[in-house]
């Protein structure tokens, strides 16, 4: 029962928010996200004893139950969603947006969709929330986005929607293969899928995988991403990059790897190679970007590529690393976007060639930028290192030393573009600033939460590792 609260709280406050005007919407969003975080923390905590499940009759005719599952992976991602949305709300407390009621309403609806995706234990429920999470983002970008928002948002929507439809077709096909009456429940889908002949699994894999590949995105399905990140307002960029891309990876772990083992076995080499190419390719492109948002976008593509490569590598420690890194990447990329948005706010530009002198003009900001950037390039004793060490370990065990070494180029290239960014933004002489101000109180709080998580999980990752150990070994099995 408690699981459904994770969806209901943001859903209802989201709907309510449309009716609220002005500051009230912010307060509502803040309260709602705090409540959601509290519940998701409880759900995660419960996992150390036994996972919580929930089920209710839903569309009987189709054989779909409204079932939810809060196991280690789900509750970890719900917790991440709770934290990230709360941080976004905190940092935006003193920012004015047009029509706050609608803006926060859409954000909360999207959060409800995300929670649903992570919890769903029934394919139809999963699909429904998958779309529910996407649609508010479409409105958010096209209403509150940057100059080129209309064509960019359109492309993003069509691209991901095409993927979703292919996935739906695949899921419907699978449900028709279930024993007796058609069923969408996870157990039945897994049983049906894994008993299909390898040939069928191979083409079904393509159908479903494309949707997830676009969402993550992995090379070469990624070109919608830098554009939409660039054009979206920062809260939306954060939701997209910290949480929505995890939907793709999560879906692979829950709805693809266990369902179509023969299909996975057939395609995994291809996926691993594409992902590794993506790491090097995206890192190279990141080096020559001058727009901060595009730089972070490509760095995120590289990081997701590593996680995806390992997810298909059949290694226990690797899978565990994927889980851990999903969380850590979500935290770190949120921090990166916060910094980018603060820089844009202070300097009035994201063009790195026009930045400089943050360490002199706003030293607290510069310290935060350095810590978060270092976590992003996985320096030891930050959370990023734990994940990356396990990921590289997994890649080595699963795909061999050569693949690992090529992927490892990402470590070097990552240092190059990240230090370039720090040098251009933080060091040097102070350039013209629109607003000369260090961190404000609420920014301090938001960034502080991120940094504490970065350092705590970097030094003592045990809670996160314990939470996800069981489910990771279950998926690898």
Q: Which residues sit at the interface with other proteins, rule CB under 8 A?
A: 155, 158-159, 220, 222-224, 281, 284-285, 287-289, 316-317, 320-321, 357, 359-360, 374, 379-381, 385-386, 389-390, 392-393, 396-397, 401, 404-405, 408-409, 411-412, 415-416, 419-420, 423, 426-429, 460-462, 465, 469, 472-473
Q: Which residue has the tokens 């676009």?
A: 214
| SS3 state of residue 128 | helix
The least distance separating other proteins from the CB of residue 136, rounded to whole angstroms, comes to 23
The least distance separating other proteins from the CB of residue 127, rounded to whole angstroms, comes to 23
316: which residues sit within 8 A by CB, 6+ positions away?
A: 394, 472, 473, 476
Answer left, alpha or beta for residue 353, where phi above 0 means left and psi between -120 and 50 means alpha. Answer: alpha
**Long-range Cβ contacts of 376-380 (<8 Å, 24+ apart):** 376/299, 376/303, 376/332, 376/333, 376/335, 376/336, 376/414, 376/418, 377/411, 377/414, 377/415, 377/418, 378/411, 378/414, 380/458
**Nearest to other proteins of 52, 319 (CB atom):** 319
CA dihedral 458, 462, 466, 468 (to 10 degrees): 0
**Nearest to other proteins of 217, 248 (CB atom):** 217
The least distance separating other proteins from the CB of residue 207, rounded to whole angstroms, comes to 17
CB 133 within 8 A of CB 242: no
**Nearest to other proteins of 74, 393 (CB atom):** 393
The least distance separating other proteins from the CB of residue 308, rounded to whole angstroms, comes to 17
**Long-range Cβ contacts of 187-196 (<8 Å, 24+ apart):** 189/123, 189/255, 189/259, 190/258, 190/259, 193/258, 193/259, 193/260, 194/258, 194/259, 194/260, 194/261, 194/262, 196/260, 196/262
Kindly report whether the peptide bond that precedes residue 217 is cis, defined as omega within 30 degrees of 0: yes
**Nearest to other proteins of 138, 427 (CB atom):** 427
**Nearest to other proteins of 94, 360 (CB atom):** 360
**Nearest to other proteins of 109, 280 (CB atom):** 280
The least distance separating other proteins from the CB of residue 257, rounded to whole angstroms, comes to 17
The least distance separating other proteins from the CB of residue 223, rounded to whole angstroms, comes to 4
**Nearest to other proteins of 258, 470 (CB atom):** 470
The least distance separating other proteins from the CB of residue 318, rounded to whole angstroms, comes to 9
Backbone angles phi and psi of 428, in degrees to 5: 80, -170
**Nearest to other proteins of 188, 227 (CB atom):** 227
The least distance separating other proteins from the CB of residue 98, rounded to whole angstroms, comes to 29
**Nearest to other proteins of 120, 352 (CB atom):** 352
Helices (H) and strands (E) in the chain, counts: 20, 2
Helix (H) or strand (E) holding 70: strand 64-70
The least distance separating other proteins from the CB of residue 426, rounded to whole angstroms, comes to 7
């Amino acid at each position: 029962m408690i699981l459904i609260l994770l969806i209901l709280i943001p859903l209802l406050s989201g709907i309510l928010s449309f009716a609220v005007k002005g500051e009230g919407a912010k307060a509502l969003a803040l309260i709602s996200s705090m409540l959601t975080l509290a519940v998701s923390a409880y759900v995660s905590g419960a996992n150390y004893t036994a996972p919580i499940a929930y089920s209710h009759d839903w569309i009987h005719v189709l054989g779909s139950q409204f079932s939810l599952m809060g196991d280690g992976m789900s509750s970890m991602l719900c917790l991440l969603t709770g934290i990230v949305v709360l941080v976004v709300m905190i940092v935006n407390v003193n920012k004015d947006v047009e029509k706050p009621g609608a803006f926060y309403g859409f954000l909360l609806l999207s959060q409800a969709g995300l929670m649903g995706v992570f919890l769903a234990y029934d394919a139809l429920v999963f699909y429904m929330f998958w779309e529910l999470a996407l649609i508010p983002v479409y409105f958010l970008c096209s209403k509150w986005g940057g100059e080129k928002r209309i064509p960019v948002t359109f492309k993003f929507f069509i691209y991901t929607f095409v993927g979703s439809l292919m996935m739906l077709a695949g899921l419907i096909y699978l449900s028709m293969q279930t024993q007796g009456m058609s069923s969408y429940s996870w157990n039945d889908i897994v049983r049906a899928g894994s008993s299909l002949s390898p040939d069928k699994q191979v083409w079904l894999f393509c159908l479903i995988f494309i949707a997830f590949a676009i969402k993550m995105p992995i090379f070469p399905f990624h070109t919608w991403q830098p554009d939409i990140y660039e054009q979206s307002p920062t809260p939306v960029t954060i939701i997209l990059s910290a949480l929505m891309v995890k939907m793709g990876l999560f879906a692979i772990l829950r709805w693809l790897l266990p369902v179509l083992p023969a299909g996975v076995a057939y395609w995994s080499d291809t996926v691993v190679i594409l992902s590794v190419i993506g790491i090097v390719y995206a890192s190279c492109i990141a080096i020559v970007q001058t727009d901060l948002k595009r730089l972070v976008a490509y760095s995120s593509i590289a990081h997701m590529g590593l996680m995806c490569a390992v997810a298909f590598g059949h290694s226990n420690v690797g899978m565990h690393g994927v889980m851990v890194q999903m969380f850590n990447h979500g935290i770190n990329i949120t921090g990166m976007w916060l910094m980018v948005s603060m820089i844009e706010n202070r300097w009035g530009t994201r063009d790195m060639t026009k930045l400089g002198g943050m360490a002199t003009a706003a030293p607290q900001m510069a310290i935060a930028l350095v810590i978060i950037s270092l976590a992003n390039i996985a320096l030891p004793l930050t959370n990023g290192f734990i994940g990356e060490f396990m990921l590289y370990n997994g890649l080595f065990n699963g795909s061999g030393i050569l693949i690992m070494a090529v992927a490892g180029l990402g470590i070097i290239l990552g240092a190059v573009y990240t230090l370039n960014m720090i040098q251009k933004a933080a060091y040097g002489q102070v350039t013209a600033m629109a607003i000369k101000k260090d961190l404000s109180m609420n920014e301090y709080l938001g960034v502080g939460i991120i940094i504490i998580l970065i350092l705590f999980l970097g030094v003592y990752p045990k809670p996160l590792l314990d939470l996800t150990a069981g489910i990771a070994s279950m998926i690898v099995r």
